[in-house]
Amino acid sequence: MEAKSFWVLVTTLVFIIRGWRQTEGCLEQERTALVQLKSFFNYPLYLNDGVDVKGSNCCQWEGVECNIISGRVISLNLNYARGSTSYGYLNVSLFLPFEELKSLYLCGNKIAGFVDNKVSLLSAFNNLEELRLCNNYFNDSILSKLKSLTNLKILDLNWNRIISLCHFEGEKVQPMMNLEVLYLYDNLLNNNDLTYLKGLSSLKSLDIRRNQLEGSIEIRVFNLIFKKIKYNLNISLKELDLSYNKIEGLQSTHDGERPLNLTNLEELNLNSNSFTNSLLAQLIGFSNLKSLGKLKIATLDYVFTVGTTSLIPLLETFSSIKTLSLRNNYFNDTFSTQDQLHVSSKIEGLVLDRSSLNNNIFQSIGVLDSLKFLSLRGCGLSGTLPAQGWCDLQKLELLDLSENALEGTLPSCASTALANLTLLRSIFLSRNLFEVPSIFISFANHSHLKVLFGSQNKLVKEPTIQTWVPKFQLNAFHLSNCKTKELHIEIPKFLYYQNDLSVVDLSYNNFGGKIPFWLLENNTRMDEFLIKGNSFMSHLNLPFHPSPNTSVVDISDNKIQGPIPANICSIFPQLFGLNLSGNFLQGNIPPCLGNLNTRELLLDLSHNQLSGGIPEMLAQSDSLRFLRLSNNHLSGKITPTIFRSSLLELLYLDGNNFDGNIPSIDISTIPWYSLKDVDLSNNNLSGELPKWVWNVSNLKALAVSNNQLKGLIPMELCYLDSLNILDLSKNNFSGPIPSCFNAQSIKHLHLRKNRLSGTLTNAFFNCSSLVTLDLSENQLTGEIPYWIGTLSALSVLLLKANYFIGEIPIEICKLYSLSIIDISQNKLSGLIPSCLSHLTLEPNDEKSSTKTYKEEFLGTIKGANYFGISEIEWSTLKRAEFDEYLFIENQMQEKVVYTTKRASYTYKGNILKYMSGIDLSCNRLTGEIPTDIGNLSEILSLNLSHNNLTGHIPSTFSKLKQIESLDLSHNNLIGRIPTQLTELYTLAVFNVSYNNLSGSIPSSKAQFGTFDESSYVENPFLCGPPLNKNCSDLDSPSTAAPNTSNNEEECGLMDKYVFWVTFFVSYVIVLLVIVLILYINPYWRQAWFSFVEHCIKTCQYFIEDNLLRFPIFKRSG
C-alpha cells in the first residue's frame, strides 16, 4: 500500500513539473515560426492572438493545439486563413520547428504548391498523420512529394486541380503504406487513375466523387489497390464513395479470379451517376453483396430515375444493411396493400425523400419492423394518414413527413398503436396541412421526444376545455410561418411545461401579447430564440436573470416600442446575432453592444426610430462582422472608426440623416480588410468619394445614392475586380464616364440623376457581366454606340432623358436577355428597328439579384448531438431542416425606376424579375410601327408616344397577350383602331390620342369598356363612345392632315406660353423685392444709388473717349 502511494506521489510530481513548464509558454522557436506564418496566413480570425512578444504562450492562440505534457505544437488549423485574391506558394521550411506536428489543416488558402528551399517535405512533416489540402490550386506534381510521408493516415486533396494520379508511380518509395483515409473528390480523375492507387492496403475510406469516372467500372480494379487479395484476406475498406460521376454500370470479376471480399465495407455511395436500367440486376449478381454483414449505409440517390426499377426487389436486395437512402428516384411501381417483402429485413433507416410514392406506403411499411428512422419528405403524399401499417413500427425513433400535402390530425391509431411508439425522438411535420398545435396532443405521452418541427401548417386555436401536460422535454421546437384565419393566436400552452429547450422558432405566426421571455427564464440552456414576424407589443422588457447560453435573439418585425434596455449585454453576454429590426424602438444604440464576449457579432437594428450616432465602442468592436442600421433617425457625422474594423464585412447605414464627408482613413495599415458591402444611400453626405474606397480589393457592393456627393467619378473604381454593384445615382457627380468601366465583375451600375456629360465612347465595351445599366437623366450626348451589342448579359437598359442623337442601333437586338428598355426623352431619329421582336423578354433572376455572398456564410450549423439523433441518422438525413440559418440576408435590393401606366414606379424583387417593357417615347422617330413588334408576347408595357410615327396601328398587337400599358399617342398614325385589340384582356392603360385615326372606336367590351375619352381625344375623324361624336355625322376624310402637335410639355419640355408667363411674374417679383429692400435699408439704398451713379459716369466716359472720336460725331468747323 505504501509503495502504491509512493508511485502515485511521484506521478503527481511529474505532472506538476511538466505542467509548470507549460505555464511558461510554448517553445520560443515554435512561437517565432507561428509569427512568421502570419505573413502568409493573414486572415484576422486566425493567429490573431499572435504577437511578436517573447514569452507569449502560442498554445492559446486561435487554431493552435499543443501537447499538454511537452507543450509542443501538435495541430495547426489554418483553414481559410489566407486573405488574397491570387494563388501563392507556401514555404515548407517554416514548419521545421514543429517537430511533433501531427495534424495540419491548410484548406481554402489558394495554395498552388510548396516551396521547399532545399528542405524536403519529409523533413518538415516527418511525424504528420493528418494533412488537409482541400480547396486549393495543387496539381498532379504534389503527389510525388506527398507519397514520401509514410506516417500519413489522413490525406485530403478535395477540390484541387489534379487530373491524374500517375505521380504515385515511377519511384521506389512505397507510397503512404499507413494511409487510411483518402479524399479526392472534385478533381478531374478518370477510370485509369484508380489503378495508380495500388499498394494502399491500409485504406479504410476512399472518396472519389465528383470526378470524371464514366462508363463501366470493373470491381476487380480494387484488386490492384489492396494487395491482400492474393492472400485471400479481407479488405479493410469501410467507406467507398463513387457518387456524382458518370458511371453507367458495375462489372463483376472475370472467371478465374477471386471475388472481392469487401466484408468490412460499412458505407457505399453510388448516387447521382448515369447507371443504366440493369444496375439492380448487377447488384443482385454480386454473390458477395448479400454477405456484407457490416454494411451500414448504402446511398443510391438519383440512380433509378427512368421508372423501370421496382422498389420491392430493391429493398429485398439490401435487406441486410442498416441504412438505405433512395432520394429522388422514380420507381415503376409503389407499395400496394398486397405488397410484402419475401425476406426478413434488417433495415433500420429508410430515406425515400422526393421519390415517387403513394399513400399505400403507410399501410405496407409496417413489414419493415426493424425501422428506427423513416423519411418520406416531399414524396407527393396527400390526404389524411391511414390507421394501419405505419403505426406498427414500434422501434421507430425518427419520422419525417415534411413537404407533403397531408392534412387534418393524426389518425385513430394515435390513441392505440402510435401511443405505444414511445421511442420516438424526432418528428418532422413541416410544410403540410396538419392542424397545429392540436396535433401535438398525440405525442403527449412520448417521453423520449426531443425534436418537434411543425412549421408551415394550419394554425388553429387550442381547445379551451382540454389541458394537457406533456411527458417530453424538447431540445428543439419549430412552429413558424403557419397559416391562420384568426387575428391573434396564443403560443402553444404545452411550452409552459418545457425547461430544456435549446432552439425555439415561433416566427411569422401573428402571435400577440407581450414578448414570451418566460421561455428564456424557464429554459436556461436556450441557444436560439426566434420570434420574428409576429404582433408582440409593449416595451422590450428583458428577463430578470442572465441567459449566458443564448447566442441568437431575433425579435424583428414585431411592434416593440421604447428604448433598447441598457442591460441587454448583461442579460445576453454571449450574443452572436441580435435582430431587432422592423419595430418602433427609440433612443440611442447601447454602446455595450460593442463589448460583448463573442467571437463574431451580427447586429441588425434597421427600420426603427433610433436616434443619435454610432457609439464609438460599437465602432471599435473587434468582433463586429455585420452591421445594419438602415432607415432610422441616426444623425451626425459617421465615425471613421467603423470603417477601420478588420472583421466587418457588411455595413448598411442607408436611410438616415448622416451628414458631412465620408471619412477618410488609411487602410494600408490593416493587414486584412474584410469590407464587402457598403450602403450609405439616402443620407445627407457631401464632398467626394474618399480614396480608400478604391483600395478595398474585396468590395462587392457600393451604394451612395441620393446624397450630395460631387466631383468626377474616380477612374480607380474600374480596378475593383470584385465589384458587382455600384450605385452613384441621385448625386452631383459630373464630367465624363470613365472609359475603363469594362470590368468583367460589375453587374448592376446605376448613375441616374447626376450631371454626367460627354459621349459613351468605349466606357462599357465588352462588359459581358453587366446586367443593369442605368444612365438616365444626365447630360450625355452623341450616338448610342454600336458596342451596346457586346453587353451579352444586359437585361435592363435605361438611357432616358439625355441628349442622344442618331438612330437606334440594331446591335441592341443582339441582347437576348434584355427585358426593360427605356431610351425616351432623347433626340433619336430614324425608324424603329423591326429586329426588336427578337427579344424574348423572359423573366431573369439576375435582373433582381444582388447577392454578394452565399447565404450559408452566416449559418449556424448544429450537429447530431445537438438534436439528440445518432451519427448515422445525421449523416444520412443531413439537410437544411437541421441547419439553423441566421436571419441575416443581403438587403441591397436591386431597384429600377420605370414609367408605365402614366406614372413612374420603382420595381424590385420578384416584380422586377418579371417586369418587361419598351419605352421609346419623346424622340423624333419616323416611319411605320413594325408589325413584328406584335410578336413580343411577354411584354407588359409599350410606349411609342410623342414621335413622328406614321401608318396604321398593326393588327398584330392583338398578340400582346400580357400587355398592361400601350401608349401610341402624339404621333401621325392613320386608319382605324384594330378591333382585334379588344382581345387584350390584361390591358389597363390604352392611349391613342393626338393622332389622325378615323372610323369608329372598337366596342366597349372587356378592357375597352374601362377607357375614357382621354384615350382618344384629338383624332378629328374618330367617332363612337366614349367620344361625343356620332359616326353617322362624320364624313370619311379623303386625306388626313398630318398631326404636328407633339405636346412637348408631356415629354419634360416646358410650353412657350408657360415659359413667358413664368418669366414675367418672376421678373416683377425680383424687381419688387429689390425696391422693398432699398426702401427699408438706407445703407443699401445709398450704396445702390452710388453704384448706379458710378455706372452712368463710366458709360459717359466710355462714349466720350471712344465714340466721339469718329468724324461722324464731330461738329463741323
pLDDT tens for each residue of 5-28: 555 454 544 444 444 444 455 788
Q: How high is the pLDDT of residue 320?
A: 80
Q: Is the model's pLDDT at 543 over the cut of 60?
A: yes
Q: Is the model's pLDDT at 248 over the cut of 60?
A: yes
Query: Which residues, at least 6 apart from 139, have a Cβ–Cβ distance to it below 8 Å?
Result: 112, 113, 160, 161, 162, 163
Per residue in 819-865, pLDDT (tens digit) is 999 999 999 999 999 999 888 888 888 877 766 544 333 444 454 44
Residues 801, 823 contacting (CB under 8 angstroms):
no
Strands laid side by side in the 657-661 sheet: 635-637, 657-661, 684-687, 708-712, 732-735, 755-758, 779-783, 803-806, 827-830, 924-928, 948-950
- What percent of the chain has a predicted confidence (pLDDT) above 70? 81
The helix or strand, by DSSP H or E, that contains position 772, with its residue range, turns out to be strand 772-774
Query: Which residues, at least 6 apart from 626, have a Cβ–Cβ distance to it below 8 Å?
Result: 601, 602, 603, 604, 648, 649, 650, 858, 888
Q: How high is the pLDDT of residue 233?
A: 47
Q: How high is the pLDDT of residue 738?
A: 85
Q: Is the model's pLDDT at 727 over the cut of 90?
A: yes
Detail the DSSP E strand segments found in 266-396.
267-269, 297-299, 323-325, 349-351, 373-375, 382-383
Q: Tell me the pLDDT band of 519, cut-offs 50, 70 and 90.
A: very high
For the segment 40-56, the average pLDDT, to the nearest whole number, is 64
Q: Is the model's pLDDT at 896 over the cut of 50?
A: yes
DSSP string, 994-1041: SSEEEEEPPPS-GGGGG--GGGT-S-TEEESTTSS--GGG-PPPSSPP
Q: How high is the pLDDT of residue 884?
A: 47
Q: Is the model's pLDDT at 880 over the cut of 50?
A: no
For the segment 740-766, the average pLDDT, to the nearest whole number, is 84
Per residue in 1003-1052, pLDDT (tens digit) is 888 888 899 999 999 998 899 888 888 887 655 444 444 444 444 445 65
Higher-confidence position of 52 and 813: 813
Which three three-digit cell numbers place residue 1049?
Answer: 410639355
- What percent of the chain has a predicted confidence (pLDDT) above 90? 42
Most confidently predicted of 232-241, 624-633, 662-671, 740-749: 624-633
Q: Tell me the pLDDT band of 730, cut-offs 50, 70 and 90.
A: very high
Which three three-digit cell numbers place residue 167?
Answer: 505521380
Per residue in 973-994, pLDDT (tens digit) is 999 999 999 899 999 999 999 9
Length in residues, the chain: 1117
Nearest to 481 by CA among 513, 506, 451, 502: 506
Q: How high is the pLDDT of residue 476?
A: 93
Per residue in 338-394, pLDDT (tens digit) is 556 666 678 889 999 998 888 788 877 888 888 898 999 999 888 888 777 787 888
For the segment 425-451, the average pLDDT, to the nearest whole number, is 86
Q: Tell me the pLDDT band of 809, cut-offs 50, 70 and 90.
A: very high
The C-alpha atoms of residue 76 and residue 50 are separated, in whole angstroms, by 13
971-993 burial string, b = 16+ CB within 10 Å, else e?
bbbbebbbeebbbbeebbbbbbb
Q: Is the model's pLDDT at 278 over the cut of 70?
A: no
Lowest-pLDDT range of 147-161, 207-221, 748-762, 776-790: 207-221
Considering the chain, what is the average pLDDT of its residues? 82
DSSP string, 150-189: TT--EEE--SS-----GGGSSSSS---TT--EEE--SS--
Nearest to 481 by CA among 523, 527, 528, 530: 530
For the segment 931-947, the average pLDDT, to the nearest whole number, is 94
Q: How high is the pLDDT of residue 51?
A: 53
Per residue in 114-158, pLDDT (tens digit) is 987 778 888 889 899 999 999 999 998 888 888 888 899 999 999
The C-alpha atoms of residue 898 and residue 821 are separated, in whole angstroms, by 9
For the segment 263-291, the average pLDDT, to the nearest whole number, is 68
Q: How high is the pLDDT of residue 828?
A: 96
Q: Tell me the pLDDT band of 532, cut-offs 50, 70 and 90.
A: very high
For the segment 277-299, the average pLDDT, to the nearest whole number, is 62
